[in-house]
Amino acid sequence: MSQSASPALVSLLAMVAVVGGLNLMHREGQAAPVDGSMRARIQRVVDAEVVPLKSEAEVDRYLDQLVARAHASGEVNALTVEPGHEAIARLEGIDTMHRLQKQAAFRQRMRTLSHELSRTQQKASP
């Protein structure tokens, strides 16, 4: 049995999840607030990288790339979190619960990476 919710509810839940994840990472010192110029940068990434994604497998590979990008840069920030959430939100053909689970799993991956990077940076500091 498939559970469904209104598109407005799905959008609201996704937005709360994204904002909650970003707020947590900001409190931990890993991300700056998302201002107008950052929103424009995020939109450019979404337009270039997310819009072409069509299948769940493509989105999963993209999420892996975002994790690798964050790891390589040494930080988890809005440019690595927001496009991932947008990619999941744009997936067609999956039910609401599956979408929310994918978003939660991605958010947890990024949160875990943020903690790991923070510990690594603390150990490297004199």
What lies within 8 Å, CB to CB, of 2 at 6+ separation is 95
Question: For the chain, which residues make up each domain, given as ranges?
Answer: 7-124
Burial tier of 110 (Cβ tally within 10 Å: 0-12, 13-18, 19+): buried
| Cα–Cα separations (whole angstroms), residue 85 to 15, 104, 126 | 9, 9, 36
pTM for this predicted structure: 0.71
Spell out the per-residue pLDDT of the chain, length 126, in tens: 444 555 555 555 555 554 445 444 444 444 455 567 999 999 999 999 999 999 999 999 999 999 999 999 999 999 999 999 999 999 999 999 999 999 999 999 999 999 999 988 887 776
State whether the Cα torsion 106-107-112-117 is positive or negative: positive
